[in-house]
Structure 1
Amino acid sequence: MIPVIVQDYKTNDVLMLAYMNEEAFQTTLSLGKMTYYSRSRNELWTKGMTSGHYQYVKSLSIDCDKDTILAKVSQIGAACHTGNRSCFYTDMVKEEYNEKNPLEVFENEYNLILDRKLHPKEGSYTNYLFDKGIDKILKKVGEEATEIVIAAKNPDPEEIKYEIADFLYHMMVMMVDKGITWEEVLEELSQR
């Protein structure tokens, strides 16, 4: 019996801890879905068979002592039997810090822009851009790119950060308008 730490392959969020025996490991390999050994029921358990919340294997790694597996998975739905995304949702001790996973920030902003396109809100600048169409969106992308160049010639790094953020926002509006996701962009970038 070996413990398995399960992480979301995109965000690296720890989803759960479970156990595998050799049969569970072999079943995981053959199905491509995480299969564990339930110590309470004394049987194999493919995650999601009853809930539909499957964990599709992306990678399996073993630690240096060869006594713990790290599984990176594509999690469908909740990992925890309580309905939470992760089993680790209760803080016992927590120092205040500001965690910013770049991909999560980009995806959250992208999803907000997509929501504005699907559910327009009166007075929304994002909806103004969508209403004006692709030419207006592209004009703003071009303007913001030029403003980055101008800001980079100035000594104030705060101005550059501000202009880069403006550019990224307008670029994401263009991405949503064209139906391009961050996953597709990152896939392309990883091929270079």
Structure 2
Amino acid sequence: MNLEDVKFDEKGLIPAIVQDASTKEVLTLAYMNRTSLEKSIESGETWFYSRSRQELWHKGATSGNTQKIISMKLDCDRDAIVVLVNPAGPACHTGEISCFNESIYSKEGAASMSANLSDYQILVTLEEVIAQREKERPEGAYTTYLFEQGVDKILKKVGEEATEVVIAAKNRSKEELKWEASDLLYHLMVLLREQDLPFKEILKVLEERHLTKEK
């Protein structure tokens, strides 16, 4: 991004739409001036300009809920920016994942789907924790044990948990099924990490299949 191409408004600001790079959920709308944009690019984390306080602010400086920038894109008119980030916590000061939580219109069924999108943040968090466990190998952690035992042990656990899911479903036990399904997802994500396959690659395949079926 060439800063000379950015079209700031008469107050020297440009709207920045912050979006989760993994879930694609819109997290917040904030404003940047030239200085905050430069700081964002230099630091790799989001900086904004507060119109009410008339000062720069670093997202997460006090709360710890920083936003690591993955990419920044200008729109075709070069007067708005989309910032894709990996958030370290909620984007909203209320504690919500996203600032956009008040529905004013949606087609039937769409509201419930979009309103719960933030629920899937735990998958991103889980993937990050598993990656950290593999790297640091903290003593006593179950994930450390799995990585140290190797792929055969991980595969065995995936198979065992898949069988448990089948049994729970056959028993028509929702309570049992939700726990066994959670165990299966966890062990599957450990396997993906062991195989160096990011979870987002799985999501891409699902999206491609969905788009193919719609054609």
TM range (shorter): 0.5 to 0.7
Q: Deviations over 1:146-192 (max 9, x none)?
A: 11011001132000000000000100110111111122111121111
Matched, 1:49 2:38: yes
Q: Which amino acid aligns with 1:15?
A: T
Any idea what SS the aligned residue of 1:191 has? helix
What RMSD, in angstroms, separates the aligned Cα atoms of the two structures? Answer: 3.5
CA distance in 1, matches of 2:149, 2:198: 21
Dislocated runs of 4+, deviation >6 Å = none
> Given that residues 16 and 29 in structure 2 are in contact (C-alpha distance below 8 angstroms), is that contact kept between their aligned partners in structure 1?
yes
Any idea what SS the aligned residue of 1:168 has? helix
> Given that residues 127 and 189 in structure 2 are in contact (C-alpha distance below 8 angstroms), is that contact kept between their aligned partners in structure 1?
yes
CA shift in 2, pair 1:57/1:76, >3 Å: farther
> Given that residues 20 and 87 in structure 2 are in contact (C-alpha distance below 8 angstroms), is that contact kept between their aligned partners in structure 1?
no
When Rg is computed on C-alpha atoms for both structures, the one with the higher figure is 1
Gaps of 5+ in 2: 1-8, 45-68, 96-115, 210-215
How far has the Cα of 1:114 moved from its partner?
Answer: 1.0
Gaps of 5+ in 1: 19-35, 39-44, 61-68, 79-83, 92-98
Matched, 1:114 2:131: yes
How far has the Cα of 1:127 moved from its partner?
Answer: 1.1
CA shift in 2, pair 1:46/1:186, >3 Å: farther
How far has the Cα of 1:145 moved from its partner?
Answer: 0.6
> Given that residues 175 and 181 in structure 1 are in contact (C-alpha distance below 8 angstroms), is that contact kept between their aligned partners in structure 2?
yes
Query: Where does residue 47 of structure 2 map in the other structure?
Result: none
Query: Where does residue 17 of structure 1 map in the other structure?
Result: 30
CA distance in 2, matches of 1:108, 1:158: 24
Matched, 1:89 2:73: no
Q: Which amino acid aligns with 2:27?
A: V
CA distance in 2, matches of 1:124, 1:134: 17
Q: Deviations over 1:16-47 (max 9, x none)?
A: 323xxxxxxxxxxxxxxxxx6x5xxxxxx386
> Given that residues 158 and 184 in structure 2 are in contact (C-alpha distance below 8 angstroms), is that contact kept between their aligned partners in structure 1?
yes
How far has the Cα of 1:72 moved from its partner?
Answer: 4.4
Matched, 1:153 2:162: no
Q: Which amino acid aligns with 2:38?
A: M
How far has the Cα of 1:14 moved from its partner?
Answer: 2.9
Q: Deviations over 1:72-99 (max 9, x none)?
A: 4314899xxxxx985x5367xxxxxxx8
For 1:60-75, list aligned pairs within 5 A: 72-75=82-85
> Given that residues 15 and 80 in structure 2 are in contact (C-alpha distance below 8 angstroms), is that contact kept between their aligned partners in structure 1?
yes
Query: Where does residue 190 of structure 2 map in the other structure?
Result: 173
2:19 to 5, 8, 29: 8
Any idea what SS the aligned residue of 1:49 has? helix
CA distance in 1, matches of 2:14, 2:38: 20
> Given that residues 57 and 73 in structure 1 are in contact (C-alpha distance below 8 angstroms), is that contact kept between their aligned partners in structure 2?
yes
Q: Which amino acid aligns with 2:83?
A: V
Query: Where does residue 22 of structure 1 map in the other structure?
Result: none
> Given that residues 151 and 159 in structure 1 are in contact (C-alpha distance below 8 angstroms), is that contact kept between their aligned partners in structure 2?
yes
Query: Where does residue 152 of structure 2 map in the other structure?
Result: 135
> Size of the alignment, in residue pairs?
147
